[in-house]
Amino acid sequence: MELTKEKLARIFDETLLDPLATKKDIEELCARARKYNFASVAILPCNIAHAAACLKGSEVMVCAAVGFPLGSITPEAKAVEAADAVENGADEVDMVMNIGALKAGHVDLVKRDIEAVIAASGGKTVKVIIEISLLTPVEAKMACILASEAGANYVKSSTGFKGFPIRPTSAEDVRHMRRYAADHVKVKAAGGIRTPEDALAVISAGADRIGTSSGAKITEAYEGRG
């Protein structure tokens, strides 16, 4: 199947996670998302209600970043944040896994953390951010397995936040996630994906969605290829 410009754009979660973002910035983000018909806008919880209003009547979803960017709040607090985001209009939730707990081997806590957010999200799509560049291959495998067992819809490679990832998400990262996530769990690649070549590499490796702040630039560059 040919990957047209329009189909490529529908893979993107256009991202604005800057804590300095203003209402005007959110409005401009939503206008871009409408123009290219991106899958969603991925934003901080404080901006959910405004983005939902801006995108009303469009196909573009609103995605809330929960437990962002470190994932180190308690499961109960993370669940409250997810529930609040959904109440304010979020269609999807991208939650940051408790990375320290995973690395310490506290797998029950990691799973409970994910389950709490899923329960609080009321059936909305939940993506679990594992911050793969901070994990060993064995830890990344376990993160994908735990997210699958907890009932997540996606595993996601990185927050893409300032300082993370410590390297861009690679096609091999995506292949590793696809290998160990359950068959029904999709993969989202994020962090350092800025060109059509970057996007095509992770898509070929198995990414179903891409998080990027460069969706418009990538789409325009891809269109320019003819």
Q: Which CATH number goes with the domain that contains 178?
A: 3.20.20.70
What does pTM read for this prediction? 0.95
- Calpha distance 68→17 (Å, rounded): 9
Active site residues: 94, 156, 188
| Contact call for residues 101 and 134 (beta carbons, < 8 A) | no
From the CA atom positions of the chain, what is the Rg in Å? 16
CB 10 within 8 A of CB 33: no
Cα–Cα–Cα angle for 152, 172, 18, rounded to 5 degrees: 60
Instruction: Tally the C-alpha atoms within 13 A of residue 17's C-alpha that lie toward its C-beta.
Output: 25
Are the C-beta atoms of residues 42 and 63 closer than 8 Å to each other? yes
Q: Are 154 and 129 in contact (CB under 8 A)?
A: no
How many structural domains is the chain composed of? 1
**For residues 135 and 155, is the Cβ–Cβ distance under 8 A?**
no
Please give the residue range of the domain that contains residue 155.
Answer: 5-223
Per-residue pLDDT of the chain (226 residues; tens, 9 = 90+): 589 999 999 999 999 999 999 999 999 999 999 999 999 999 999 999 999 999 999 999 999 999 999 999 999 999 999 999 999 999 999 999 999 999 999 999 999 999 999 999 999 999 999 999 999 999 999 999 999 999 999 999 999 887 766 789 999 999 999 999 999 999 999 999 999 999 999 999 999 999 999 999 999 999 755 4
